[in-house]
Amino acid sequence: MVEHIDGNALAGPLSDLFTFDPTTASARCAGCGDVAVLARAMVYGEPDTFVVRCANCDDVLMTIVQAPDRFCIELRGMTWLKIPR
């Protein structure tokens, strides 16, 4: 089994970028249409790169690359992100 954790763990890395808690935001998977909070997604490949996969179909929702001088976020796998306020 490839090691992975839950989207819960994205709370810290993404707190650098967002003022809201990203783990309670829901995303719609562009692959299968499943809607789930990011906390429920599967996260692979800590610590500098996070590949976030849909817990339902395993498609990539989002990729985050942390470099010393920048963040790179690729969001092609989600149709939207709904943020509670």
Ligand X SMILES: Cc1cc2nc3c(=O)[nH]c(=O)nc-3n(C[C@H](O)[C@H](O)[C@H](O)COP(=O)(O)OP(=O)(O)OC[C@H]3O[C@@H](n4cnc5c(N)ncnc54)[C@H](O)[C@@H]3O)c2cc1C
32 is in the binding site of which of ligand X, another protein, Zn ion, none (Cβ under 5 to 8 A by kind)? Zn ion
Residues 76 and 16: their CA atoms lie apart, in Å, by 21
Long-range contacts of residues 9-15, Cβ cutoff 8 Å, at least 24 apart: 9/43, 9/46, 10/38, 10/43, 10/50, 10/52, 10/64, 13/50, 13/64, 13/66, 14/64
* 26 touches Zn ion (CB under 5 A): no
Contacting residue, 5, 17, 35, 57, with Zn ion by CB under 5 A: 57
Residues that bind another protein (CB under 8 A): 1, 3-6, 8-9, 11-17, 19, 21, 23-24, 37, 39-40, 46-47
Residue 7 phi, psi (nearest 5): -60, -20
Nearer to another protein, 48 or 76 (CB): 48
* 41 touches Zn ion (CB under 5 A): no
Residues within the interface to Zn ion (CB under 5 A) = 29, 31-32, 34, 54, 56-57, 59
Residues within the interface to ligand X (CB under 6 A) = 3, 5, 8-9
